[in-house]
Amino acid sequence: MINYKLEKGYPHQCGATPIKDGVLFVFESDSENTGIILKNRKSKTVTKIPLTAEYRNGNIFSVLIKDIEYDKYLYRFYKDDKEFADPYSFTIAGNEKFGLKKDNYEIYSSIVKLDEDNFDDIKPGISFENSIFYLLHVRGFTAHSSSKVESKGTFKGILEKIDYLKDLGITTLELMPAYEFEEYEKPAPKTELAIDNLDYKADNKVNYWGYKEGFYFAPKASYCATSNPVKEFKEFVWELHKNGIEVVMQFYFPDKVKQHKIYEVLKFWLINYNVDGFHLKGNKIPFAFIANDPLFADTKLLYDYIPENEIYEAAFVPNKRNLCSYSDSFMYQMRKVLKGDEGTLKELVYYTKNYPEKSACVNFITNYYGFTLNDLVSYDRKHNEDNGEKNVDGCDYNFSWNCGIEGKTKKSSVIKLRKKMMKDALFLVFSSKGTPLILAGDEICNTQNGNNNPYCQDNAVSYINWNLTAEATEMLEYTKKLIALRKSDLNAILNREFSMLDRAHIGYPDLSYHSDEAWKADLATYNRHLGIMYSSLDEKDEVTLYYLAYNFYWKEITFSLPYLPLSAKWDVVFSTGDVKEKGEETEETKQGMKFELESRSCAVFKVSFNKSVLNNK
pLDDT digits (tens, 9 = 90+) for 425-451: 999 999 999 999 999 999 999 999 999
CA torsion through residues 365, 368, 372, 376, sign: negative
Share of the chain above pLDDT 70, in %: 95
pLDDT at 589: 60
Residues sharing a CB contact under 8 Å with residue 434, sequence separation 6 or more, in sequence order: 330, 354, 355, 360, 361, 362, 363
DSSP class of 520: B
Cα distance between residue 70 and residue 16, in whole Å: 9
Looking at the predicted structure, is the pLDDT value of residue 593 above 90?
no
Beta strands 73-79 and 108-110 are: antiparallel
pLDDT of res. 566: 76
Same domain, 503 and 469: no
Do 455 and 533 belong together in one domain?
Answer: no
93 versus 21: the higher-pLDDT residue is 93
How many domains does the chain fold into? 3
Percent of the chain whose predicted confidence (pLDDT) is above 90: 86
Which residue range(s) make up the domain with 339? 128-492
Asked whether residue 98 is assigned to any structural domain, the reply reads no
- The residue with greater pLDDT, 178 or 589, is 178
pTM confidence score:
0.95
- Please report the pLDDT score of residue 67 as a whole number: 86
User: Is residue 188 classed exposed, middle or buried when 0-12, 13-18 and 19+ CB atoms within 10 A define those classes?
Assistant: exposed
Model confidence at 135, pLDDT cuts 50, 70, 90, reads very high
CA gap 229, 227 in Å, rounded: 6
Asked if 207 contacts 455 with a C-beta cutoff of 8 angstroms, the reply is yes
Please report whether residue 429 resides in a domain: yes
Asked, for residue 365, whether it belongs to a domain, the answer is yes
Q: What is the dihedral of CA 370, 372, 377, 382, to 10 degrees?
A: -40
533 and 434 in one domain?
A: no
Edge to edge, the sheet with strand 571-575 lists: 511-514, 529-537, 542-551, 601-610, 571-575
Q: Same domain for 172 and 38?
A: no
Q: What is the pLDDT of residue 504?
A: 92
Cβ burial 496-506 (10 Å sphere, 16+ → b, else e): eebeeeeebeb
Q: Would you say 435 and 128 are in contact if contact means Cβ atoms under 8 Å apart?
A: yes
**Whole-number Å distance between alpha carbons of 251 and 266:** 9
Average pLDDT, the chain: 93
Q: Is 95 domain-assigned?
A: no
pLDDT in tens, 197-210: 444 344 678 999 99
In a shared domain, residues 484 and 564: no
Distance CA 604, CA 581 (A): 14
Q: Is the dihedral of CA 523, 525, 527, 529 positive or negative?
A: positive
Q: Would you state the pLDDT for residue 102?
A: 87
In a shared domain, residues 342 and 290: yes
- Of 419, 571, 377, 444, nearest to 167 by C-alpha is 444
Cβ atoms of 217 and 92 closer than 8 Å: no
Q: Please check whether residues 506 and 396 belong to one and the same domain.
A: no
Alpha-carbon span 448 to 382, nearest angstrom: 10
Name the residue among 44, 39, 37, 38 with its Cα closest to residue 79: 37
How much is the pLDDT for 199?
42
Residue 190 has pLDDT above 60, yes or no: no
The pLDDT, as a whole number, for residue 13 is: 87
CATH number for the domain spanning 15: value is 2.60.40.10
Q: Are residues 483 and 519 in the same domain?
A: no
**Domain end position, chosen among 463, 492, 521:** 492
User: How many residues are listed for the chain in this entry?
Assistant: 617
Residues 52 and 156 in one domain: no
CA angle (249 as vertex; 243, 251 as ends), nearest 5: 175
pLDDT (mean) for 142-155: 98
Q: Which of 61, 89, 117 is the last residue of a domain?
A: 89
CA separation for the pair 117, 230 (Å, rounded): 9
Q: What is the CATH number of the domain that holds 596?
A: 2.60.40.1180
Secondary structure percentages of the chain, helix, strand, coil, to 5: 25, 25, 50
* CATH of residue 403: 3.20.20.80
Residue 433 lies in a domain: yes
Element (H, E) at 267: helix 259-273
Q: Taking Cα atoms as reference points, which of 75, 71, 72, 81 lies closest to residue 63?
A: 75
- Examine the pLDDT at 538 and tell me if it is beyond 50: yes
In a domain, 18, yes or no: yes
Write out pLDDT tens, residues 282-307.
Answer: 999 999 999 999 999 999 999 999 99
Cα angle: 419, vertex 421, 426; to 5 degrees? 100
Q: Are residues 344 and 253 in the same domain?
A: yes
Kindly state whether residue 560 falls inside one of the protein's structural domains.
Answer: yes
Average pLDDT over residues 57-66: 96
Same domain, 459 and 504: no
- Domain closes at, from 492, 522, 548: 492
The two counts, helices (H) then strands (E), for the chain are 14, 31
Residue 578 lies in a domain: yes
**Radius of gyration in angstroms for the set of CA atoms belonging to the chain, rounded to a whole number:** 28
409, 410, 414, 416 alpha-carbon torsion, rounded to 10°: 130
Residues 196 and 343 in one domain: yes
Query: Between β-strands 360-363 and 435-439, what pairing exists: parallel, antiparallel or unpaired?
Result: parallel
Residue 44's alpha-carbon distances to 73, 110, 323, 326, in angstroms, are 9, 14, 48, 47
* Per-residue pLDDT at 193: 47
